[in-house]
Chain A
Amino acid sequence: MEEFDITIGLEVHVQLSTQTKLFCSCGTRFAQSPNSQVCPVCLGLPGSLPVLNQKALELGVKAALALNCTIPEKTKFDRKNYFYPDLPKGYQISQYDEPVSQNGFLVIPIQEGKKKIGIVRAHLEEDAGKLIHSDAGQAISYVDLNRAGVPLLEIVTAPDIESPEEAYCYLTELKKILQYIEVSDCNMQEGSLRCDANISLKPKGSKTLGTKTEIKNLNSFNFIRKALQYEANRQFQCLKRGERIEQATYTWLEKESRTEKMRSKEDAHDYHYFPEPDLPPFSLKESWVQGLQDSLPELPQNRLQRMMEKYGLNRSDAELVTQNRKEADYFEECAKNFQDYRELMNWIKGKVYTYLNEKNLSIAQFPVSPENLSELLQLVSNKKINREAGKEILDKMITSGQKASCFIQNKEKITDHKAIMEFCQKVLAQKPHLAEEYKAKPNVLNSIMGSVMKESQGRADAEKVKEILLQILG
């Protein structure tokens, strides 16, 4: 494999987060009963006319800006013609030569630092319907057109990606950005993010690209990485045997961990693109574009950098907490009232994330507000309660949604010398053998301390317990 360079290009379709379809007012909700979100426009009935959804245009341009694309002064739509039952009009309204954006890039983290992946274009288009093939031996298919006309943004990379790993990185970063700017939920299970990949091999250092193959039906980033690894190796074996690569489209069979040929180049479509006569062109005013640019939130990579600097977080913690905008917001909200950031990070990693993972919830569903969590952490750091009690209280706050102060009664830390002395004496009276053992094995102290802490229901100040025990035991 060393004598070849891999070249990968990715085509990602994301569903834009609109209430309605791209060219009609039908809803876009997932998993509705079949054909319950259709109208004359998305059914392609004669005489119906498409009208562009303003919000879809905004979201598309917003995404393009976040991907550093150039927004032209003018954009238009074109018909992409093909016949298939999931496409009622016999054409898909897409963009051909005047897309809504071009020439962007996305920076991905790689082992050696950072790498720029070029983005050739990002354009708007409508989704097709869904076909369900009868498996009852009948020669029929069922067509559901709820998805037909749903707004998509197609984002096409330059052939800059040089390994399956980089492809994985690009997709992870792209998804993070699109979610940050709230342009798409990028839910792969619901098909809001779909990816096609093409891959070719060329002799190391060669300027001319090799023949590429395309892989479709990739529905997780992991599958994409695996499919690309498989396909790179398959092409390599072909070339090693002196064979030529056939330009073809493959599908990934996850269960068998291999790609399978769907169709060869001879069957390639000939789409006969032409301008959509039913939609006027669109001029994109500079002030409008600027307004969208200004509305963009801080993007994930900048936020990661800033949070590392501002809160002194290490990279892996900062990556964890900035993987999603709401989680980063949560951390920063807590940090306003509680300035021991490392301690805060530990609680979020330990207690908050554990809970969210266990219950499979998002941070937005976490029952404890940032204000309430930081209040609790202050109580712990001011030594009003000890850490163990703090954890117990947090559990109670999670189940009840109430503030820490509701549970602090009978949880305050016990620091009183006399009270602690009583706990110690009680334990030693109950377990006299421990004092004996201690003489031979000083680390028995830990188990005595444990018993004392238990006796105090976790409230005794551990430092003081140790001090007093050492005094008693001599």
Chain B
Amino acid sequence: MEIMITLQEIQHIARLSKVYLSPEEEAEMAKDLETILSYFQKIKELPTENILPALSPIEICNVVREDIEKASLPLDAIAKNSPSFEEGFFIVPKVLGT
């Protein structure tokens, strides 16, 4: 199987996703992504020259709603879904810059 993803690319994607991968995990991730990308390789073989890209398998258009306010979630319901919630705020590890 030809190599479609390099180690550098794995590291770049990990950095963008803000996840830490050990060297072993990087290798494993490369293998998994290879499998996924090979599916796309297969799809690429299909002749698509005269076919317009489709955004969605269903043909619907212009689904909108009116600008009318509805009740928001109560704080306790929001807190329930958060591992760390204090005085109305979600608490996350400190982030600065990018």
State whether A54 touches B65 (Cβ < 8 A). yes
Interface string of A70-87 (1 = CB under 8 A from B): 000000100001111100
* A209 interface contact, C-beta 8 A: no
Q: Is B25 an interface residue (CB 8 A)?
A: no
Within 8 A of B (CB), among A87-146: 131-134, 138-145
**Contact between B63 and A40 (Cβ–Cβ < 8 Å)?**
no
Contact B72 A133 (CB under 8 A): no
Shortest Cβ gap from B40 to chain A (Å)? 13
Q: Which of B69, B78, B81, B93 contacts A139 (CB 8 A)?
A: B93
Which of B17, B70, B81 meets A83, CB within 8 Å?
B17
Complex contact A39–B94 (CB within 8 A): no
Residues of B within 8 A of A37 (CB): 72
Within 8 A of A (CB), among B43-58: 55-56, 58
Q: Is there an interface contact between A83 and B18, defined as CB atoms closer than 8 Å?
A: yes
Q: Is A259 close to B, CB under 8 A?
A: no
- A55 in contact (CB, < 8 A): yes
Contact B68 A19 (CB under 8 A): yes
Q: Are B94 and A139 in touch, CB under 8 angstroms?
A: yes
Contacts of A280 in B (CB 8 A): 55-56, 58, 60-63
Q: Say whether, besides A277-B56, A280-B56, A33 and B69 are in contact (CB < 8 Å).
A: no
Asked if B63 contacts A53 (CB within 8 A), the reply is no
A38 in the interface (beta carbon within 8 A): yes
Within 8 Å of chain B (Cβ to Cβ): is A43?
yes
Query: Does B64 contact A26, Cβ atoms closer than 8 Å?
Result: no
Q: Is B23 an interface residue (CB 8 A)?
A: no
Chain A contacts of B3 at CB under 8 A? none
Cβ–Cβ < 8 Å partners of A159 in chain B: none
Asked whether B21 is an interface residue with its Cβ less than 8 Å from the other chain, the reply is no
Is there contact, CB below 8 Å, between B95 and A43?
no
- Residues on A with C-beta less than 8 A from B98 are 84, 263, 267, 269
Chain B residues positioned under 8 Å from A36 (CB to CB): 72, 75, 88
Q: Does B1 contact A (CB under 8 A)?
A: no
CB contact list, A11-40 vs B, under 8 A:
18-20, 25-27, 33-40
A43/B78 in contact, CB under 8 A = yes
User: Considering only CB atoms, which chain B residue lies closest to A84 in the complex?
Assistant: B95
Is B83 an interface residue, CB under 8 A from the partner?
A: no
> B64 is contacted by which of A57, A139, A267 (Cβ under 8 Å)?
A57
Q: Which residues of B contact A132 (CB under 8 A)?
A: 89
B91–A142 contact, CB under 8 A?
yes
A: contact size bracket: 35 or more
User: Quick check: is B73 within 8 A (CB to CB) of the other chain?
Assistant: yes
Q: How far apart are the CA atoms of A142 and B17 in the complex, in Å?
A: 20
A51 to B63, CA, bound (A): 7
Q: Is the CB of B97 within 8 A of A262?
A: yes
Measured between beta carbons, the chain A residues less than 8 angstroms from B86 are: 142
Residues in A neighbouring B93, C-beta threshold 8 A = 139-141
B97 to chain A, nearest CB (A): 6
- Is B72's CB under 8 angstroms from A275's CB? no
Determine if B92 and A54 form an interchain contact, defined as CB atoms under 8 angstroms apart: no
**Nearest-CB residue, chain A, relative to B67:** A55
Please, which residues of chain B bring their CB within 8 A of the CB of A39?
70, 72-73
Q: Are B68 and A140 in contact (CB under 8 A)?
A: no
- Does B16 count as interface, using CB distance less than 8 angstroms? yes
Q: Is B96 engaged at the interface, CB distance under 8 Å to the other chain?
A: yes
From B17, B68, B90, B97, residue with most partner A Cβ within 10 Å: B90
A20 touching B61, Cβ below 8 Å: no
Residues of A within 8 A of B55 (CB): 76, 275, 277, 280-281
Contacts of A145 in B (CB 8 A): 90
- A144's nearest neighbour on chain B, judged by CB, is B89
Asked if B69 and A25 sit within 8 Å, CB to CB, the answer is yes
Among the listed B16, B56, B69, B73, which residue makes an inter-chain contact with A20, where contact means beta carbons less than 8 Å apart? B69
A356 near B: Cβ within 8 Å? no
- B88 touching A34, Cβ below 8 Å: yes
Q: In this assembly, does B2 line the interface, its C-beta being within 8 Å of a C-beta of chain A?
A: no
* CA–CA, A207 and B70, complex, Å: 53
Residue numbers in A under 8 Å from B90 (CB-CB): 35, 85, 142-143, 145
- Which residues of B pack against A, CB within 8 Å? 12, 16-18, 55-56, 58, 60-70, 72-73, 75, 78, 81, 86-98
Can you name 10 A-B pairs with beta carbons within 8 Å? A35-B89, A45-B81, A51-B65, A82-B16, A141-B93, A141-B95, A263-B97, A277-B55, A277-B56, A280-B60
10 nearest interchain CB pairs? A55-B67, A25-B70, A142-B89, A143-B90, A34-B88, A54-B64, A139-B94, A85-B92, A51-B65, A280-B60
Given contacts A27-B72, A280-B62, 7 further A-B pairs with CB under 8 A are: A18-B67, A19-B69, A40-B73, A52-B63, A53-B65, A262-B97, A280-B56
